Amino acid sequence: MVIIPENRTLHSDNLALVSETLSATERHIIDCVNWPEAFPEKPQVSFQMAHNGTELFIRFSVEENNTLAAIREDNGEVWTDSCVEFFIALDDTGYYNFEFTCIGKALLGFRKERPNAVHATPEIMQSIKRLSSLGKENFGEKKLGKPWTLTVAIPASALFKHDIRQWKGLTAQANLYKCGDKLSTPHYLSWAPIDTTKPDFHVPRCFTSITFS
């Protein structure tokens, strides 16, 4: 079980400070190459995570050969860009998939099975704050020559199919990912291993246990 610590000094009003604070905390590596024959590409990816009770903060750090930021709207095909993802299930009713491009365009859905998703409203999407080291402007695929970071703040109210107001005290199942379907070299990495025969992140049985202290 992974314990996500509480830090009440963090607040989404200052994501730059959140990112700086998280950069000094425990780092978790997203490095499972589950389909090495078809997709051997392995960017260097990690995340750091904490909460302040009502908001969950995740700082992703990525170093990859090529980076793409083409998607312009929330709840678009964000997985086709340079994308990082956080999937979480609170119980057996279904799971949430939070997905973010490298410039912070986001997708949020809830589903029991992959084909049957309910996506979050624009109001909920706006409540999820994001800060990218690459800014907010779209760009075509290019070699950055340096790592990029994305820090996000997810309010507990974004878990819109549950009546949740606090992350504190929750125990859940989760996995985190890095992908890029339309990059010149697509890749699919996970934090906890996945045992499917082809790339698929929508596998709750492969989530791992986390607790928000």
Domain definitions of the chain by residue range: 2-189
What are the tens digits of pLDDT across the range 102-121?
999 999 999 998 888 999 99
Instruction: Give the C-alpha separation, 21 to 52, whole Å.
Output: 13
Average pLDDT over residues 73-100: 98
Mean pLDDT estimate for the chain: 97
How many CA atoms, within 13 angstroms, populate the side-chain half-sphere of residue 27? 12
For the CA atoms of 27, 152, 2, 205, what is the dihedral angle to 10 degrees? -120
- Domain 2-189: give its CATH code: 2.60.40.1190
pLDDT exceeds cutoff 90 at 127 = yes
Read off the pLDDT of each residue in 149-173 and give the average, rounded to a whole number. Answer: 97
User: Is 208 exposed, middle or buried, given 0-12, 13-18 or 19+ CB atoms closer than 10 A?
Assistant: middle
Please check whether residue 18 is in contact with residue 153, taking contact to mean a CB–CB distance below 8 angstroms: yes
Q: Three-state SS for 116?
A: coil
User: What is the average pLDDT across 169-177?
Assistant: 98
Q: What mean pLDDT do residues 154-171 have?
A: 97
pLDDT category at 1 given cuts 50, 70, 90 is confident
Longest dimension (CA), the chain: 45
Residue tagged 């704050």 (tokens): 129
**pTM of the predicted structure, to 2 decimals:** 0.98
